[in-house]
A and B are shown apart, each in its own frame.
Chain A
Amino acid sequence: MDHGSPRIDAVRATLSVFTDSLKYLVDMPSGLINQASEATSTYSTLKKDNEILREEQFINKTRLLKFDALEKENIRLRALLENSFKLGEQVLIAELISINMAPFEHIVVVNKGTRFGVHPQQPVLDANGVVGQVFRALPFTAEIMLITDPSHAIPVQVNRNGLLTIALGSGQLNRLNLPYLPANADIQPGDLLITSGLGGTFPAGYPVAVVDNFNPADSKSFINVTATPKALLDRNRELLIVWGNKAPVQLLKDQTTDLKAPEVNKHE
């Protein structure tokens, strides 16, 4: 994606120390407004938020209990199929810097860079789904290309039946295009698209988008399907940068081997 040679990256990193400080400077007013609104929120709203969050956490925790068991079952089943299984990711929370890099491109800037070990082509998620990938990492900031950027493509599969395809960015924040589907493909409006893990950039199994309504065209060999991203691309301030665990979980030697799934732990 980046046409610059790696030797130039050092120059860019050096110059970015100055330009990144400008980015933080421009971001400051909106950050201050956020802080001010947080500081002036009343006790009752805080209490309400707290209650909602506690409830959410309770539900998520109970779901995770089940997830643990499912994960182990999955590894066992994979082992029966003599198939390796990758899981376990580390995440880092990064905050958006509200600046506008260039029109016509869906690239956002976050406040974590190579100082935190961020490197290009890392997947970026939010609480609802896949946001994009790290496009360029500078010492203090990282540029993230959203999945809706016109030059971005993400390999996906339909969660219902495992149908594989590629979702291209459309240049609109609420739409992805799926141009490579034959007219008889088994896809329906409302289908959830998840990452397929092919291509190696995005880990498998994260929700990407939901298929929109479309008109099946009988006369054409390909259908025009669009999908709406699950992630709140224009409303998020916090994003998760993911480190995939490249080493696959070992196959079971025998049934008594203790399966220890790597934990999802946070840097911060």
Chain B
Amino acid sequence: MNNYTGFGRIFFTLVLAMCLRIVPWPSAVATINPDWVLLALIYWTLAIPERVGIFYAWTFGLLVDVLTGRLLGQYALAYSLVIYLCLMLHKRLRQFPLPQQGMFIFFCLLLSQFLLFLIKNLQQPGEFPATFWLPVFTGTLCWPLIFTLLRFVRRSRIFK
């Protein structure tokens, strides 16, 4: 059985995640819109760490920077750090049941958001509304969905 996951599939899911970032949701949804790209990157890193790693994180981080009009490199840095953690711990994380994985994902998302918070504050200090941290929670809640969906994409023969 051929377990090899083509580049096309990984690329497609990441591009789809990038699209989800910029869909014009109503403002209530926009404030809780989780970081889909990071979630997808974490999944692929845990699933095929020998192929998806920091290079992917850095590249797609840069693309997200340009996509959302941020300072070039801030998402790249945040994603690379989080993906490095995932690479270190992927063997252990694979054994965890989904809720326990969710805990780890929560800290990953929190770390990424905290880095973005620091960089933003360096640029122009200002008040952040408490809703700035909401995507971390929604992202954690979305993890089981992402996990199941991407595992289906990885395993199904439809896309081969």
Determine which of B31, B69, B126 lies in contact with A101 in the assembled complex, contact meaning CB atoms within 8 Å: B69
Q: Are B27 and A103 in contact (CB under 8 A)?
A: yes
Smallest CB separation, B103 vs chain A (Å): 26
Asked if A99 is at the interface of the complex by the 8 Å CB criterion, the answer is: yes
Contacts of A103 in B (CB 8 A): 27, 30-31, 33, 131
Known contacts A12-B66, A19-B66; A100 and B30 CB within 8 A of each other: yes
Contact with A along B109-134 (1 / 0, CB 8 A): 00000000000000110100101100
- Give the segment of A3-11, A34-42, A243-251, A257-265 that binds chain B: A3-11
Q: Within residues 112 to 160 of chain B, which ones have a CB less than 8 A from any CB in chain A?
A: 123-124, 126, 129, 131-132
Contacts of A102 in B (CB 8 A): 68-70
Question: Which B residue's beta carbon lies closest to that of A173?
Answer: B27
Bound complex: CA of A104 vs CA of B133, how far in Å? 12
- Give the segment of A23-31, A73-81, A187-195 that binds chain B: A23-31
Asked if B63 is at the interface of the complex by the 8 Å CB criterion, the answer is: yes
Contact with A along B19-42 (1 / 0, CB 8 A): 100111101001101000000000
Asked if A228 is at the interface of the complex by the 8 Å CB criterion, the answer is: no
Total interface residues on B, using CB and 8 Å?
A: 26
Q: Are B129 and A104 in contact (CB under 8 A)?
A: yes
Contacts of A22 in B (CB 8 A): 15, 18-19, 22, 67
Known contacts A12-B72, A150-B126; A30 and B67 CB within 8 A of each other: no
Asked if B71 is at the interface of the complex by the 8 Å CB criterion, the answer is: yes
Total interface residues on A, using CB and 8 Å?
A: 28
Question: Which B residue's beta carbon lies closest to that of A14?
Answer: B66
Contacts of B67 in A (CB 8 A): 19, 22-23
Asked if B62 is at the interface of the complex by the 8 Å CB criterion, the answer is: yes
Asked if A224 is at the interface of the complex by the 8 Å CB criterion, the answer is: no
Q: Are B22 and A26 in contact (CB under 8 A)?
A: yes
Asked if A151 is at the interface of the complex by the 8 Å CB criterion, the answer is: yes
Contacts of B132 in A (CB 8 A): 104
Q: Are B69 and A143 in contact (CB under 8 A)?
A: yes
Residue among A11, A15, A18, A103 facing the most chain B CB atoms (10 A cut-off)? A103
Contacts of B18 in A (CB 8 A): 19, 22
Asked if A130 is at the interface of the complex by the 8 Å CB criterion, the answer is: no
Bound complex: CA of A101 vs CA of B22, how far in Å? 6
Bound complex: CA of A15 vs CA of B62, how far in Å? 8
Contacts of B27 in A (CB 8 A): 103
Contacts of A175 in B (CB 8 A): none
Contacts of A114 in B (CB 8 A): none
Asked if A136 is at the interface of the complex by the 8 Å CB criterion, the answer is: yes
Known contacts A15-B63, A25-B19; A107 and B25 CB within 8 A of each other: no
Known contacts A15-B63, A100-B25; A4 and B71 CB within 8 A of each other: yes
Bound complex: CA of A99 vs CA of B30, how far in Å? 11
Contact with B along A112-140 (1 / 0, CB 8 A): 00000000000000000000000110100
Q: Are A100 and B24 in contact (CB under 8 A)?
A: yes
Question: Which A residue's beta carbon lies closest to that of B26?
Answer: A100
Contact with A along B90-101 (1 / 0, CB 8 A): 000000000000
Known: A99-B22, A101-B68. 8 other contacts (CB 8 A): A3-B123, A4-B72, A12-B66, A15-B66, A19-B67, A26-B23, A101-B22, A107-B69
Interface residues of A (CB under 8 A from B): 3-4, 8, 11-12, 15-16, 18-19, 22-23, 25-26, 30, 98-104, 107, 135-136, 138, 143, 150-151
A-B contacts, 21 of them at CB < 8 A, read A3-B71, A8-B72, A11-B72, A15-B62, A22-B22, A23-B22, A26-B19, A26-B24, A30-B24, A99-B22, A100-B22, A100-B25, A100-B30, A101-B22, A101-B68, A103-B30, A103-B31, A103-B33, A104-B31, A150-B126, A151-B124
Question: Which 7 A/B pairs are nearest by Cβ-Cβ distance?
Answer: A19-B67, A99-B22, A15-B66, A98-B24, A100-B24, A103-B31, A19-B66
